[in-house]
Structures are given as C-alpha cells and as structure tokens.
Chains A and B, each alone.
Chain A
Amino acid sequence: MLLTLDAATVRFGGRAVLDAVGLDVAEHEVVCVLGPSGSGKSTLLRAVAGLQRLDFGRVLLDGRDQSGVPAHKRGVGLMFQDHQLFPQRDVGANVAFGPRMHGVSRGERDAEVRRLLELVGLPGAARRAVASLSGGEQQRVALARALAPRPRLLMLDEPLGQLDRSLRERLVVELRELFGRLGTTVLAVTHDQGEAFALADRVVVMRDGRIAQSGTPVEVWQRPADAFVARFLGFENVVPATVAGTAADSPWGKLPVPDGSPQGSRTVLVRPAGVRLVPADQGLPCTVTARTFRGTHVAVRLQPQDGPRLEAACALRDAPEPGVPVGVEFDVPEIVVLD
C-alpha cells in the first residue's frame, strides 16, 4: 500500500475530528473522500501531509511510519482549497517552487515548468502575474505546482470547490483523464458527490470523523451503507421499516423489496425513479405539493395522507400540477433495504 492510515485520531479540544480512521490507498488509485463540511476530511489530508499532528494512530507511506517526519520531507503534494498561490511570484516561479526546494537545476526547472503548464492547458503563461489569473486558471496553476516536485501521493482539498458549475464539470473530466495518463496516486476530498463520483476509482464517505462507507462509485450509489449516506447522496425517500420475506411494512404501507434482502427492523430506501404515479383511485393516495424541473426529469414532491413526504422522478409530460391528487405505486428494482 502506498498510503495507510492506522486508527488515525485527531482531537480538537476533546472533540474527535478524526476518530480512529483506517484507510488504504494503493498505487495509481484515485480515492475521493466525500463528506459534509465538518466531517474531518480536510483534517485527514493535513494529517497525511504532516501539517496536523495525530493524537493517536499512525500514517504510513510505502509502509514507513511518518510520525516525526516534517511536512517538507514527506514527499506528498497538497493542493489547497483556495489554491494558496504565492502572490508575489509569477506563474512560472510558483510552479518552479517545489523543484527549486529540491535542488533541481535552473535549466531542468524551466523545462519542467513549460511541460507542466502545457499539461494543464496554460502554455506560455509562465510570466503572468498570479493576480491576473481567473479562478479556473489559478486552479490549473495550483495543480501544476503540486505536480512539479513529482509527489508519490497527490492530495486535493476541494479541488474544484470555488469554480462555477460548467467549468467544474469540464475540469473534473480533464483531471480524471490527466491522472489516468500520469498514473498519479490521488487522495482528494470534496463535499460534492457529483465531483467525487466523476473523479474517483473509490469513494470514501465520512461522517463526524469516521468512515461511513467505502467502495466504488457504483457500489456506493447503488447500496448506500446507511440512512446518513443515503440522505447525503441526495435521497430523500428513506424510512424505517420491518422487513419480512419480500415485503416491508413501512409508513407508506407495504413495500415490495428484492429477494434476499436483510430481514427484521431495517431502513428502506426508495429511489425517486421507483415511485410511480398512477390514477388517484389506485395505490397510496397522495397530493402533489411541488414540482422542480431538473433538466432530464421533473422531481415531484408528494404528501401522502399519512407518513413522511415522498419524492418521485417522472418525465416532463407526465408531471402533474401541484394540488392534484395522485396515487403511488413502488417498483422493486429501485428499492434497497439498508444494513
């Protein structure tokens, strides 16, 4: 393993920001830590970088314990949330900073700066002032700077956090492609699930300093580990239910569940696509309270006569007006019994 966290614990004034976190990152793997703000993900990166001391546990790089190794000798790269480019240096000098600290000769440095700026799509920008860069350009320069000392592990803290949406979507594809080409090992953190799923080979969901779930984007998306992960991923139809055989007794009545689901008192997730609208005299009677246009579909909010609210996804032409009474039926393939 390139990176191993072993029961890593960091406490701020009694509160555990990292609570016995164990995590492995293999060479060439792109791992994305996903969690709401305050879940400890930035602290995780800082602990690996050597900027935050562990109160307990170990950080191992290539199997070697890093306690007592200062940040500048760990050979990992960190791209900061707001980039932290050196304001008094131009773009080239920012990128050349790392190689210079490692005693690389001027000629090699210049060649490396040219190569990296080309790689991140800013050829010829070396003499530009940092203040003259747009947000997206700063992000690219920060990436080039982090790559320049050829770190064995590259860490990204909310790499696309402050950029506007369209730019973010374009850059995330570029990054994914770039890391694949370079074979870089990457540990990124983000609060944006779309970003995490697009970027990562493996997603690690964090909550309150602990790891809530770890798996490929598809695994996490299809089988969220618990109600927290499901809600964090944006699913709202999450209810407690009692599972017996292929049926679950829930506040929305009997729900069909897939064969081989865990039995007994469980949490059940119904994806919006699994909530089918039928005429008002069939299924679970509901009233439409709101509808939101989502581009590919319309999210319809429903209030059942009793039980918590439901969200349904339906095609634009099928979406009923608010106030209209409808019936609801559930589709088995879109229902998951959580462990």
Chain B
Amino acid sequence: MALPVAFFALFFAWPVAAIVTRGLKVDGVWQFGRIADVVGQPDVRHVLWFTTWQALASTALTLLTALPAAYVFARLDFPGKQVLRAVVTVPFVLPTVVAGSAFLALVGHHGLLDELWGVRLDTTVWAILLAHVFFNFAVVVRTVGGLWAQLDPRQEEAARMLGASPSAAWRKVTLPALAPAVAAAALMVFLFTFTSFGVVQILGGPTFSTLEVEIYRQTSEVFDLSTAAVLTLVQFAAVGAILAVHAWTVRRRETSLRLVDAGVTAHPPRGAGQWALLAGVLATIALLLVLPLAVLVRRSLDADGFGYYRALTDPDGGTFLVAPVHAVWTSLEYAATATAIAVLIGGLAAAALARRDAGRLVRGFDALLMLPLGVSAVTVGFGFLIALDEPPLDLRQSWILVPLAQALVGAPFVVRTMLPVLRAVDVRLREAAAVLGASPWRVWREVDLPLVRRALLVAAGFAFAVSLGEFGATVFIARPDNPTLPVAVARLLSRPGDLNYGQAMALSTILMVVCAAALLILERLRTDRTGEF
C-alpha cells in the first residue's frame, strides 16, 4: 500500500499541486480571485460550454449507436462474433492521434468523402463527434453488453409467466437491471470525451477547443500559467464530480443481480426484426469503425505502394533529428517500461484494495486511483516538467520521465482489471491452504497467483496499449530527439505537404497494427471476471 501511495503522491499529486501553485500564487500570496477572473472571460466560457455540450452530444450519439450493438453481442449468436468483438474494441485502445488521423483521412481535406462527393467535415463539430463515437463504442458494448449477456433470461420468463407482455417484461425486468450499467458506461464516455485531447487537437482546428486543448494551448503556446492552472482546477472539479457519480453507479451495479454464464443466453437471430437489427449493427460497425481504419491504411500507401513507409527510415525528412521509424522502437521501449511500473504499482494497489478488511481510507484511495484517468494528461505532463526539474528529484533529463507519466495513466487500468478478480478469490480457499500448512507468502503464490495470472496478463496488455498511445502527457516531456509514435504522428500532421501527411498515415498504421496485435492477444486471454471499462 505504501508504494502505490508514494508513487501517486510523488508523480501525480505533487506535479498537479505544483502547477496550481505556480499559477495561483503570485509573490507568495494566493490569488484566488484569478479563478473568478478566468472563468468570467468570454472565450474561456466558450471553451467550457463547448467542452460540456460536445461531451453530452458525443455520449448521446455513442449510446444511440452502441446500445443496439450491445444487445446484438449479448443475445444473438452469429458466425464471427468473437472476431467482431475484438474489432469493436480496437478503436478504444488506439491512440487518440491515430483516431484523429483516421477521421482526417475519411472526412478531411482530400479525404475519402471529399474526393467522392466533395464533403468535408473536418471543420465541423461532426468530425469530433464521430471520432468520439468511434472511440467509445467499445466502452458501451463491453460494459452494457457484458452485463446483458449474463442477465438470467429466466427472470424475463418469470415476468412473462406472471402475465407481462414481452415489451412489459423487458421494461420492468431487464431495463432496470441494465440501467446502472448504462449509466456507468455513459459516465465513462462522458468522462473520456470531456477530457478529450488528441482527437480535438487534430480535428478541431482553430475553431473548436476543449478544456484539455485549451490547457495545452495556454501552457505551451500562450505561456499563461495562471489561466492554465485555473482551467486545470475547473477540470479537476468536473472530473471529481463525474467520478463520484460513477463510483455510485458502480456500487449500484454490483447489487444482487442474478448472473448466469454468458454462453447460455445467446441464440441465433429469429424473425425479421432481429435479422434487421443484426444487419444494421454490422453496417454501423463497418461504416463507423472499420471504414476510417481502412481509409487510414489506404492513405498510408502512395502511388508506388510503400513509399511513405520507406521515407520513415530516412533521417533527412527535416521534421526530426532521427528517422521517424526510430519512434517505433522508442515507443516500444517506453511502453514496456511503463507497463512494468504500472503493473507493479497497480497490482500492489489492487492487492491492498481487495483485502476484505480494507478500511475507509483504503477504499477512498480506490476513487483517487481513477483520477489520473480523467484529470488532464496535459497537466500531468506539464506538472512533471516544472515539479521534477530540481533537486532533490531532477528527472528532466532522464528518459524515465516518459514511462513514469505513461504508467500513471496505465495504472488505473491495471487496478480496474485486477480488482474484481482478486475480490472474487474466495477467502476460504486461502484459509484452506493455510490450514494445510502454507505460510502467507506461499498462500499468495499457490492460491492467488494461479487464479489471477490471466488477469495480470490482461492488465499488462491494457497498460501497454494505453502507454503506447499516450499523447497528452508525453507531448510535453518526450525529448525532441526521441519522440514516441503518437508525438511523431502529431508533429508530421502539423507540417504541410503530401510526404509528411503520408508518413503520418504510415506511422499511424504501424501504431494501429501494434495496438491491435496486443489487443488480439488479450482477447484470447480475457477471462469472464476481469473488469470492464
């Protein structure tokens, strides 16, 4: 317990506090009046308003498209379901930068729609909303569908036997059981879109800016630290509120539902309605999820094929000090290190949280662990720069800085994945081992470890994918001579010219392939008990 607390205190709380102090303390005096000043500014108000309504709109749109899919995945059996489930999840672990560039390739200047019908959406809010749906589709399908598949159909049958019509049975029995899961999924989507950075940075142009993007702009372009600090606080408060509601819905979700094995509740589609629903869902997935990725891959190829990929190995591109392909190795190294840290810290925290006698304080830490998920990654990255640049801890020149920041974002995923599995280990199994003569350490090795090994691998995979795609914090602290993949993609996209654009698409494709490969391996390992997001 001590190690995770120290880790989060040092690498999360301190940098964030440092930023806030730097922004609000002038000559040793707190300037709380600044908060009102900044929030009162019309352009800040505009950003706040846009951040909120685009998050609401994205959440609504995601629910609208993904809930039918959740039903289809939960209750219908069709060939290729397993593969499709993995395909749906790919966007979620994709770096935001890749999602951004995929939609740019689809709806942007010279994008597919532009060439076919002259339609461009990259200057409208639709591109952002669609990209958010692309991203968070899996959150809804997995959270709601996961529960839906395990709801005992006999509950509905019992209601039918008591005289309820099919629709009444659904409304009175299934819907109330699903409601907390839908609420939890909606909140997660809202949280992710509220703090969206990479997507808006790439697709938003100068017109649209979320809080996160504005924090980035204020710190790295305008150098107005106090405004950035206030915006950080505002986002902090909003995220805290969302997480509190989320924790509440999760608790409601855990209340006494009769769950059965997911395998037995699905059946092949029956009747025209179910076939139409299945077709509609498949079409949505094809258009919204697969098409952008396909276009991305297509755009990474030039007239002769792999020219853009070859250009990646050329150090004279001018954008970087090294050949862009070098970023692949840098990213893999960083992500591996970050994964090791995240698994260690997250695993220890999960083990401490899973103890039945965990007190109030420890359970409070549970909620705090989720904060790095939602709190501005940009803030963390910038906080690292200003908090960890002087003795006793000067890491500014150290390569470990990037993996540390990435581990911070990855650790909550590890906790989320491990916790349900650890909690599900029957205490009496441990007691049985103890009575048979196993010391506490051997109990852990002989009983807990074999049961959680798969969850540990899944957690590591998630941490790896998240670290690989981390953008908001890394963009601050990655050194110019050693960019990670997402940073390199963003930098290439910010340059004019077909070669840069093509290289960005090529790098994005590489990143997508690495992430998708990691995910497909995970999908084979995933157990029923591991947490859903």
Chain A 11-50, CB-CB to B under 8 Å as 1, else 0, gives 0000000000000000000000000000000000000011
Cβ–Cβ < 8 Å partners of A73 in chain B: 437
- The stretch that binds B, out of A95-103, A169-177, A218-226, A260-268, is A95-103
- Is the CB of A209 closer than 8 A to any CB of chain B? no
Q: What A residues does B431 contact at CB under 8 A?
A: 49, 51, 71, 78, 80, 84
Whether a CB of chain B sits under 8 angstroms from the CB of A272 is no
Q: Which of A97-132 contact B (CB under 8 A)?
A: 97-98, 101-102
B453-510 residues at the A interface, CB under 8 angstroms: none
Indicate whether A70 reaches chain B with its CB closer than 8 angstroms: yes
Most interface-central of A49, A74, A76, A101 (chain B CB within 10 A): A101
Q: Does B436 contact A (CB under 8 A)?
A: yes
CA of A211 to CA of B432, assembled, Å: 27
**A80 and B428 contacting across the interface, CB-CB below 8 Å:** yes
| Chain A residue at minimal CB-CB distance from B443 | A72
Bound Cα distance from A281 to B435, whole angstroms: 65
Q: A84-B428, A84-B429 are in contact. Are A149 and B434 (CB under 8 A)?
A: no
Contact digits for B421-465, partner A, Cβ 8 Å, 1 yes 0 no: 000001011011111111110100011001100000000000000
Asked if A77 is at the interface of the complex by the 8 Å CB criterion, the answer is yes
Rounded to whole Å, the gap between the CB of A306 and the closest CB of chain B is 45
Q: Chain A residues near B432: list those with CB within 8 A.
A: 78, 80, 84, 86
**What A residues does B428 contact at CB under 8 A?**
80, 82, 84
Given contacts A88-B451, A97-B446, is CB(A102)–CB(B437) below 8 Å?
yes
B426 touching A71 by the CB < 8 A rule? no
A 57-84 contacts with B by CB, 8 A? 70-78, 80, 82, 84
Interface presence of A271 (CB below 8 A): no
A55 to B447, CA, bound (A): 29
Partner of B436, one of A51, A88, A101: A101
- Interface size of B by CB at 8 A reads 18
Please pick, from A71, A88, A97, the residue contacting B450 in the complex, using a CB distance under 8 A: A88
| Cross-chain contact A101 with B451 (CB below 8 angstroms) | no
Cβ-defined contact, B436 with A76, below 8 A: no
**Any B CB within 8 A of the CB of A202:** no
Give the residues in chain B near A51, CB-CB below 8 Å. Answer: 431, 434-435
Interface membership of chain A positions 291-322, coded 1 if the CB is closer than 8 angstroms to chain B and 0 otherwise: 00000000000000000000000000000000
Measured between beta carbons, the chain B residues less than 8 angstroms from A146 are 436
Q: Chain B residues with Cβ under 8 A from A77's Cβ?
A: 435-436
- Is A145 an interface position by the 8 A CB rule? yes
Least Cβ–Cβ distance between A162 and chain B, in angstroms: 14
**B442 near A78: Cβ-Cβ < 8 Å:** no
Most chain B CB neighbours (cut-off 10 Å) among A78, A84, A148 = A84
Q: Which of B429, B435, B451 contacts A71 (CB under 8 A)?
A: B435
Question: In the bound complex, how far is the Cα of B434 from the Cα of A180, in angstroms?
Answer: 27
Residues of B within 8 A of A101 (CB): 433, 436-438, 442
Question: Contacts A84-B426, A84-B429, A86-B429 given: A71-B434 contact, CB under 8 Å?
Answer: yes
Q: What A residues does B450 contact at CB under 8 A?
A: 88
Contact of B433 among A49, A70, A97 (CB under 8 A): A97
Docked CA distance A80–B431 (Å): 9
Give complex CA distance A51, B446 in Å: 18
Name the residue of chain A whose CB is nearest to the CB of B439. Answer: A72
Whole-angstrom distance between the alpha carbons of A74 and B439 in the complex?
Answer: 11
Chain A residues closer than 8 Å to B446, beta-carbon distance: 86, 97
When A and B form their complex, which 8 residue pairs have the shortest distance between CB atoms, in order from nearest? A101-B437, A98-B436, A71-B434, A84-B432, A78-B435, A88-B450, A101-B438, A72-B434
Enumerate 30 A-B pairs (CB-CB under 8 Å) in ascending A order.
A49-B431, A49-B435, A50-B434, A50-B435, A51-B431, A51-B435, A70-B439, A71-B434, A72-B435, A72-B436, A72-B438, A72-B439, A72-B440, A73-B437, A78-B435, A80-B431, A84-B429, A84-B431, A84-B432, A86-B432, A87-B451, A88-B450, A97-B433, A97-B436, A97-B438, A101-B433, A101-B442, A102-B437, A145-B436, A149-B437
Apart from the given pairs A51-B431, A97-B433, 14 other A-B contacts in the complex at a CB distance below 8 Å? A50-B435, A51-B434, A51-B435, A70-B440, A71-B431, A72-B435, A73-B437, A80-B428, A84-B432, A86-B432, A97-B436, A98-B437, A101-B437, A101-B442
Residues in chain B within 8 A of chain A (CB atoms): 426, 428-429, 431-440, 442, 446-447, 450-451
